[in-house]
Structure 1
Amino acid sequence: MSVTRRALALVLSALVLGATAPAAWADQLADIKAARKIRIAVAMGIPRFAFVDAALQPTGSDVETARMIAKDLGVALDLVQITNAARVPTIQTRKADILVASLAVTPERKKVIDFTVPYATLNIIVAGAKGVAVKGYPDIVGKRIGVTRATVNDMLVTQNAKGAEIVRFEDDATLITAAVSGQVDLVSTQEAVVAVMNEKRPDRPFEVKFVQSELNLGIALPQGEDALKSWLNEWVKTNVANGRLTTMFRKFHERDLPADLTSRN
């Protein structure tokens, strides 16, 4: 093949590859503004963060945070209701623009999705009935402990309580039902979930045995969306500083957000 023919073949090959290569993602913030709608994923069934009220309407601190973001962006809100286990995949596959779903910022998750500065926190705890003697992970061995699948709770118990019988549930609602009906001895969850359990079993309340971790919760978004991340970071910082996020969070959780929240990694 002559030099001229070889060069022509290379050009044609490049054109073919260019035609078949997947298009790069556009600026998602610009796309949201152009569509005048933002898709925000929220994991429903999490007490105080995302649940259905007496009028069968979604509410909770995560739901209200999503509504605040949409309003301040000047766009309509498309609330994408998902399960706990679907949180990371929903952002990876771009089935939502962002996710506000009590998702803890962890090194493992940061490998596949991006996070804003923290917008809220929660404590991960092990709880059980008063007569169950547990002070740490070694005491869980030989007991049935319930967790919600694909959560930090699940990971911590799996890593630190080898030998325990771990019973995994798809969401907090089914975990609550299992605990109330006596299917598990212990639960690894958050304080808000335990409060709901105790409302349903006041004669046998669960008590906190030990705190596993304080988690920083970030708004999740696809990697590479720098403009959207920058806008969200500024929004969180502004609304923590002016008290809007803290006031709303206190309404559902009866506690304030930490003063150093947005400076945490």
Structure 2
Amino acid sequence: MRKKVSLFFVLLLSAMIVLAGCGSNDDSNAGSSDKDTFKVGLEAGYAPFNWTQNDDSNGAVKIAGTSEYAGGYDVEIAKKIADGLGKKLEIVKTEWDGLVPALTSGKIDAIIAGMSPTAERKKTIDFSDNYYKSNLVMVVKKGSKYEGATSIQDFKGAKVTAQLNTFHYSVIDQIEGVSKETAMDNFPAMRVALESGIIDGYVSERPEAVSASDANENFAMVEFEDGFETSEDDTAIAVGLEKDSELTDKINEILKGISEDERTEIMDAAIKTQPAAQ
């Protein structure tokens, strides 16, 4: 009887040790996975900064949890930052309005999505040094009376919009007598609205406007001699990070290593390789 009882306890103890070891390994691997991964949030719908495509051509990166890939200027910058950090890049496709909540809740480590470090956003999150700077322009229908505009005031009476929750939408108020239309969720929606005549134009940054006019022969980009009044932060683009993130200084150091010429080359390549539909 004693032998049977002893054997039972030996087997039970062995099983407990094995299970404990398995649990320990699982926890270690999970922690290592998070530690070694740089999770970047972007909407993948703002070409040439970021877009969605079906394969890994031109250096596109797999979007987590999907069969799709993300490419664009932001993705190339994210790749350089991930390499500099010694981490594996993971792209988390996130709607624009969900980017800041995703960051503050820990679902992503950074926002690299053509986001400007505005004073309002700085109340909630921190930003790296700038990794791009652009001018505001308007995208209109080719052949329309607005194509030859040289001043934003030439859009008096025009139906104009911009993306929801961006400073692009607020600067429309600088146009006297403009018909400020409801803000839209994303750029593909604005392009459809412009094509169908729902709007006469939308405010954008120059790279996206070049992208739009390249993708659709019916679109034209309007650059202004008398343009929108903006702050330095409004037209700059930076990496969004959690308040007091330990990554901020490291990322700034990596960004210093990317020259202006290289940044221009990356943007030019992004404009050239973007999918035609975006």
1:215-254 alignment runs, 5 A limit? 215-225=235-245, 227-240=246-259, 244-253=262-271
Amino acid at match of 2:189: T
The alpha carbon displacement at 1:69 in A equals 1.6
Counterpart-to-counterpart distance in 1, 2:77 and 2:35: 20
The equivalent residue for 2:8 is none
The alpha carbon displacement at 1:37 in A equals 1.0
The alpha carbon displacement at 1:83 in A equals 2.1
The alpha carbon displacement at 1:231 in A equals 0.5
Counterpart-to-counterpart distance in 2, 1:240 and 1:232: 14
Amino acid at match of 2:251: L
Instruction: Mark the CA change 1:75 to 1:209 in structure 2 (over 3 Å): closer, same or farther.
Output: closer
Amino acid at match of 2:145: V
The equivalent residue for 1:70 is 82
Contact 2:131/2:238 (8 A) holds in 1:
yes
Contact 1:180/1:197 (8 A) holds in 2:
no
Contact 2:41/2:110 (8 A) holds in 1:
yes
Contact 2:44/2:93 (8 A) holds in 1:
yes
The alpha carbon displacement at 1:219 in A equals 0.6
Instruction: Mark the CA change 1:140 to 1:75 in structure 2 (over 3 Å): closer, same or farther.
Output: same
The equivalent residue for 1:132 is 145
The alpha carbon displacement at 1:106 in A equals 1.7
% identical aligned pairs: 20
Stretch moving more, 168-177 or 90-99: 90-99
**Count, aligned residues:** 221
The equivalent residue for 2:4 is none
Contact 1:126/1:209 (8 A) holds in 2:
yes
Aligned pair 1:155/2:173, yes or no?
A: no
Counterpart-to-counterpart distance in 1, 2:209 and 2:120: 27
The equivalent residue for 2:52 is 52
Instruction: Mark the CA change 1:90 to 1:136 in structure 2 (over 3 Å): closer, same or farther.
Output: farther
Contact 1:42/1:82 (8 A) holds in 2:
yes
Amino acid at match of 1:205: F
What per-residue deviation string (whole Å, max 9, x for no partner) do you get for residues 116-157 of structure 1?
Answer: 110112222123234324444444343211311111211211
Contact 2:110/2:242 (8 A) holds in 1:
yes
- Secondary structure, counterpart of 1:176 in structure 2: helix
The equivalent residue for 2:39 is 39
Contact 2:137/2:209 (8 A) holds in 1:
no
Contact 1:52/1:59 (8 A) holds in 2:
yes
Instruction: Mark the CA change 1:140 to 1:244 in structure 2 (over 3 Å): closer, same or farther.
Output: closer
| TM-score normalised to structure 2 length | 0.69
Contact 2:139/2:219 (8 A) holds in 1:
no
Aligned-residue CA RMSD (Å): 2.7
- Secondary structure, counterpart of 2:49 in structure 1: coil
Contact 2:50/2:72 (8 A) holds in 1:
yes
